[in-house]
Amino acid sequence: MLLWIICAALAIVVGLMVTAPFWRPVAAQGENPDVVFYRAQLDELEKDRARGLITNEEADRSRTEIARRLIAADQSAPHDMQAKPAKPLGIATVVAIAIGGVATYAYLGAPGYGDLPLTARLAAADDMRANRPSQAAMVAIAPALPQVETTQDYRDSIAQLRALVPTRGNDVDGWSLLAFHEGQLRNFDAAAKAQAQVIALKGGAAEKSDTYRLLDLMVAAAGGFVSPEAEAQARALYDAESTDHVARYYIGALFNQTDRPDLALRMWRPIVETGDPTTYHVNSAREQIEDAALRAGVRYTLPAPRGPTTTDIANASDLSAEDRTAMVRSMVTSLSNRLATEGGSADEWARLITAYGVLGETTAASEVWLEAKEVFATSNAAMDILRTAATGAGVGP
């Protein structure tokens, strides 16, 4: 309220200053300049007569003519030289300024909002994050998704699977199968619950990919929002490995959803600049990071993707076998050179190992695998990624 009082006072002062000239009457201008001129001529005429420059007859004739003109000029002079104030123009100016100010604020400002100092905004963001709805509540209010077109036989089979799996509580494969098919039908909440059972049954043997899938399903079921339960899963991944791309993406998404784009930028920037742009989480961060930076007041330009993009891969499918091999080899060479000079993430090292395996260059794949083990020996999460790629390329354990 204080802000509006100050703004109103300033508007009144400025309005008075701008319109004052329109209301102030013009000062009197004195005698008619023609009258002054003719009187001066009479004075000069008498001086010329006194000096003998003109005769008395000439002086009288000139005096008579000048006097006639003086009388005419005096009669034509306005009796009131006071100018009337330009009231209509002054009122129009004030109205134009008021309309322009309101229109500018309506376009650039936030009508209806109170003062939002930084400390209040940070406190509001913290409160929003601490008091957001639970997973179940988010699922309940999430918009319904369009049904997947499929056969009735398939739906009947899934209905039988739903009835059968709970009766075989320790069947990890059954729960995993149910989670997969529920996800295929976009029943993300049911899929998340089945995936949670998979992780519970696996216990300590559960892999990070199991948690990744659970996180994806939970957020999808909640309409794209990160619930407190999903945050707990992401935090566990982040605490185990702070470079985990999935964990950083979802924690950043949480901050972005709760009015802390500055923290979202901090979480997303490393994965955007070092991660694989063809993966869902890195690509999603790339799509949102510039907007987050803008709202955080930071100038940030999205870097070009590192390595082949999904567009590159799609274009490669249209090439002949020889051209496609040449294209892949060019990308592999570029990635290899960059990793050798700049380093990179475990995902990028894994991509290089996989690429060499696809090209049938097992010796090169083995050399990269050995070098990557030295680089990431202290990170269990990174080693899991690299070990999977090495095994797929035929050079791993």
pLDDT tens-digit readout, 143-194: 988 888 889 999 999 999 999 999 987 899 999 999 999 999 999 999 999 9
> What is the mean pLDDT of the segment spanning 243-248?
92
Query: Is the separation of the CB atoms in 249 and 259 below 8 Å?
Result: no
Which has the higher per-residue pLDDT, 31 or 219?
219
Find which of 113-127, 224-238, 349-363, 376-390 is predicted with most confidence, using mean pLDDT: 224-238
pLDDT tens-digit readout, 211-227: 999 999 999 999 999 99
> In the prediction, which pLDDT does 5 show?
78
Average pLDDT score over the chain: 82
Pairwise CA distance, residues 21 & 304, whole Å: 58
Domain limits, the chain: 2-104, 135-295, 310-392
Q: Grade residue 27 by pLDDT with cuts at 50, 70 and 90.
A: very low
Q: Is the pLDDT of residue 236 over 80?
A: yes
- Percent of the chain, pLDDT > 90? 36
> In the prediction, which pLDDT does 141 show?
94
Dihedral pair phi/psi, residue 26, rounded to 5° = -75, 135
pLDDT tens-digit readout, 101-141: 777 777 766 666 666 667 888 888 899 999 999 999 999 99
> In the prediction, which pLDDT does 173 show?
92
Which has the higher per-residue pLDDT, 358 or 129?
129
> In the prediction, which pLDDT does 267 show?
95
**What's the first-to-final CA gap in the chain, in angstroms?**
70
- Percent of the chain, pLDDT > 70? 83
Superfamily per CATH, domain 135-295: Tetratricopeptide repeat domain (1.25.40.10)
Q: Is the pLDDT of residue 370 over 70?
A: yes
Q: State the CB neighbour count (10 A cutoff) for residue 132.
A: 17
> What is the mean pLDDT of the segment spanning 345-373?
84
> In the prediction, which pLDDT does 127 show?
92
> Which of 214-223, 299-308, 309-318 has the weakest average pLDDT?
309-318
Which has the higher per-residue pLDDT, 132 or 69?
132
> In the prediction, which pLDDT does 41 show?
82
> In the prediction, which pLDDT does 116 show?
62
> Which of 48-62, 192-206, 318-332 has the weakest average pLDDT?
318-332
Which has the higher per-residue pLDDT, 75 or 139?
139
Q: Which region holds residue 360: left if phi is over 0, alpha if psi is between -120 and 50, else beta? A: left
Please tell me the number of Cα atoms within 13 Å of 219 on its side-chain side.
23
| pTM of structure | 0.58
> In the prediction, which pLDDT does 83 show?
47
> In the prediction, which pLDDT does 81 show?
45
Amino acid at 212: Y
Which has the higher per-residue pLDDT, 337 or 213?
213
Helix extents (H) in the chain:
2-23, 33-50, 56-76, 87-108, 118-130, 135-141, 152-164, 172-184, 188-202, 208-221, 228-240, 245-257, 261-274, 280-295, 310-316, 321-342, 346-359, 362-375, 380-392
Q: What is the dihedral of CA 286, 372, 208, 231, to 10 degrees?
A: -40
Q: Classify 310 as helix, strand or coil.
A: helix
Amino acid at 78: P
Which has the higher per-residue pLDDT, 32 or 104?
104
> In the prediction, which pLDDT does 309 show?
53
